[in-house]
């Protein structure tokens, strides 16, 4: 695994702007049955996209792939499904799965086994995760750790723990 060298703090405004760009890329692709937000990181982008795209059905699916308290950001050996999507979602056909970031792609590859016919979209993607997502807005270097505005407590803790 490549050592993380840079940190990028995303603002609320960044999320709003990037989600608007993503909605323009997704509008007209198909008539969506709804959005499935990958919890927890996909909740805010999914809500923003739903408003931008006039989608009223939002479901969730939950996974855990790393320990956020780990300052080295090492992935856990396996992805754990902590909350299933509702059964009526089926194989995901017609559903838009939304997450904040495709980092290594592990989470989205894992979810494709569960929802193989869903369409996968993220705000950001790193090179190792690009092939796991169908649509994204901005590319981030692989060695950058992204902090989202809802992770401000992690940003402050990690910032203070890093050597100067």
| Residues belonging to the active site | 99-100, 103
Q: Answer whether 101's CB lies under 8 Å from 122's CB.
A: yes
- Among 103, 155, 108, which Cα is nearest to 124's? 103
Grouping H, G, I as helix, E, B as strand and the rest as coil, residue 7 is strand
In whole angstroms, give the CA distance from residue 12 to residue 75: 26
Smallest CA-to-CA distance from 139 within 42, 18, 12, 4 is with 18
3-state secondary structure of 66: strand
The token duo for 74 is 């090492």
Give just the sign of the alpha carbon dihedral 18, 10, 109, 115: negative
């Amino acid at each position: 695994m490549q050592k993380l060298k840079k940190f990028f703090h995303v603002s609320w405004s960044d999320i709003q702007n990037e989600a608007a760009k993503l909605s323009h890329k997704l509008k007209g692709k198909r008539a969506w049955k709804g959005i499935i937000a990958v919890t927890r990181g996909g909740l805010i982008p999914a809500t923003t996209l739903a408003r931008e795209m006039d989608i009223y059905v939002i479901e969730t699916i939950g996974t855990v792939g790393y320990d956020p308290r780990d300052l080295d950001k090492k992935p856990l050996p396996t992805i754990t499904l902590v909350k299933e999507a509702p059964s009526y979602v089926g194989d995901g056909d017609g559903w838009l799965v939304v997450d904040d970031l495709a980092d290594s792609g592990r989470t989205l590859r894992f979810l494709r086994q569960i929802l193989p016919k869903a369409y996968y979209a993220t705000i950001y993607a790193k090179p190792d995760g690009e092939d796991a997502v169908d649509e994204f807005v901005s590319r981030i270097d692989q060695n950058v750790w992204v902090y989202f505005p809802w992770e401000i407590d992690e940003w402050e803790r990690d910032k203070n723990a890093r050597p100067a």
